[in-house]
Every structure is written in structure tokens, then in C-alpha cells.
Structure 1
Amino acid sequence: RVLEIEVGKSIVALKNISYNEPQFTGHFPEQPIMPGVLIIEAMAQATGILAFKSEVGKPIEGQIYMLVGVDKVRFKRMVEPGDQLRIKAEVTAVKRGIWKFKCSAAVDEKIVTTAELMCTQKAAD
């Protein structure tokens, strides 16, 4: 869920982590933990929303925003079922159709993950 958006600049989004999500059956049955790659995916989805809203206001039919790069990822704390993940992304550059973002995810105002993400618009196959 998008909480705040400043077109061309930043987005704040929320992801409620539910016990019912399928990844928790295997990651890990005795102590369910949100896989880091899914935290990055949540960040990527937020950046895609921000990029679309910034360029044309809504998704263009036949076009998607694709994650094309992830740098400087740090996982600082575990994310567990019942947590509320607050995702922030700020645009740091837009060059030749590549959007770059500085991202963070927090639970209870404590940073759990930081990363720099890149995405671009492509025709859907």
C-alpha cells in the first residue's frame, strides 16, 4: 500500500507480513523469516510505482518496469510474520531511461534492509 508519493522524488509504501504467505512454509518452518530477496522485490515494486507515476501517471499498456540492478544491499535485521515493513525509496538519478533509487525498509522504525536499485521501462513480451 502506498502511503506517500512525491512524483519524481520519493515514495513510502507499507507491506504487512502475514503468517499465511507461502514462503514461510519453507523459510523456515521452526522460525519463519521473510526472505531477503522478497524484501528487495517489495522495494522494486515501490520503485516501479514511483517511476510510472513520475513519467506518465499510470502504467502504459504493453510496458513494464523491470528491475535491472541491485547494489550495496545490507540485511540488518530479520523480518518475521506479523511485522509491518515500511519501504522508502528516493530517486537519485535518471539517465538514459535508467532510474536509480536509494531504498530502505524498516520495521518499528528500525532499518532492516538498505539497497540501491535500478529499473527501466521495457516492452512486455
Structure 2
Amino acid sequence: MKYDINKILELLPHRYPFLLVDRIEDLVLTDDLVEVTGIKNVTINEPFFQGHFPDEPVMPGVLVIESMGQVAAVLLKLYTEIKENERRLVYVTSIDKVKFRRPVKPGDQLKTVATLVKRRGNNFKFKFRATIDGDLAAEGMMGCVVSSGLTLKPEA
């Protein structure tokens, strides 16, 4: 299953310059596997490259993590029972074992695979792998909660 930027804009509250996923390439929702693959096309026009670093532009690691989280948020919006007009947000609750293996630079296509490894109510744990042309760029684990309003308290 593939989703373009228009569908992503329907699912996520993020907007430029903080929308860090351009399309969903694959979505698997089975009893055995819940996984999503998302793409971020990194261009020299990204505002963060103005200061990070002007002579050697590198995407900040925290934004690589944010991109991975947004890919997971798309999956959660499609996977959980969220009604179409219901206001639910996905919040990051933990980041574990993150390792950056190579820098992300202008012209790169960051491909993130987020695999659901655990669910308890509205709390979710994902394993991430982000690659560029098949080379590992970043990996780690992320916890998320689906909530309404501006609270980290999960819904019953």
C-alpha cells in the first residue's frame, strides 16, 4: 500500500518546515507483521542546512529521529482505531539504542522502515532502520503513545 504527500498531510499535523516524510512506500498490517516504509527526500533547500553546517551540510540527528517518528505516526494513524475527524496525536515517549551510522546530506533519500515490536493499549514500541541507497544511516527503538489533547496520558 502506498501513500502520497496528500494522504500524509491528511494523517499528520506537521507542516513545512517540520514535515519530514514525503511518501509511504509500503504498509504491512497483518497478524504477524505491522510495518511501514517511508521516504524523506533531503534537499539543499531544507532550512536547517543554513546553519548545520553551511560548508558541509548535514541533517541534524534529532531531525533524522523526528523523520523516523513521523513515519511511525502515519502507521499508527492507519493502524489504530482513530475515527476520521477525531483529534488524536502521536507523541514520542522514549528513544533507545539510537545509533547514527552515516551522515544524511542534501540529495540523499532517507528510507525508514518502522516495525511495531510491542503494544500495550495506546502505547507502542518500534524498531527503526533508516537507510540511504541501502546503506544503514541510523537505527534504534522508539516508544510512542496515541493521545488526545496535549497530554502524554494514554486514553483508556
Q: Determine which of 68, 83, 90 is the counterpart of 2:93.
A: 68
Deviation at 1:115, TM superposition (A): 1.1
Q: How far, CA to CA, are the matches of 2:112 and 2:89 in structure 1? A: 21
Deviation at 1:80, TM superposition (A): 0.3
Q: Secondary structure at the match of 2:110?
A: strand
Q: Determine which of 126, 146, 154 is the counterpart of 1:121.
A: 146
1:4 matched to 2:29: no
1:37 matched to 2:62: yes
Q: How far, CA to CA, are the matches of 2:89 and 2:112 in structure 1? A: 21
Q: How far, CA to CA, are the matches of 1:25 and 1:58 in structure 2? A: 39
Structure number with the higher strand fraction is 1
What's the TM-score, normalizing by structure 1?
Answer: 0.94
Shift of the 77–58 alpha-carbon distance from structure 1 to 2, 3 Å rule, reads farther
Instruction: Say if 1:52 and 1:58, in contact at 8 Å, map to a contact too.
Output: no
Q: How far, CA to CA, are the matches of 2:29 and 2:85 in structure 1? A: 17
Q: Secondary structure at the match of 1:62?
A: coil
- Summarize deviations over 1:80-121 as a string: whole Å, max 9, x none: 000000000100000132100000100010000001011111
Q: Which residue of 1 aligns with 2:112?
A: 87
Instruction: Say if 1:52 and 1:59, in contact at 8 Å, map to a contact too.
Output: no
Q: How far, CA to CA, are the matches of 1:88 and 1:119 in structure 2? A: 16
**Larger RCO (alpha carbons 8 Å, 6+ apart):** 1
Q: How far, CA to CA, are the matches of 1:63 and 1:25 in structure 2? A: 33
Q: Which residue of 2 aligns with 1:108?
A: 133
- Aligned pairs, how many? 125
Runs (5+) with no aligned partner, structure 1:
none
Q: CA RMSD in A?
A: 1.4
What's the TM-score, normalizing by structure 2?
Answer: 0.76
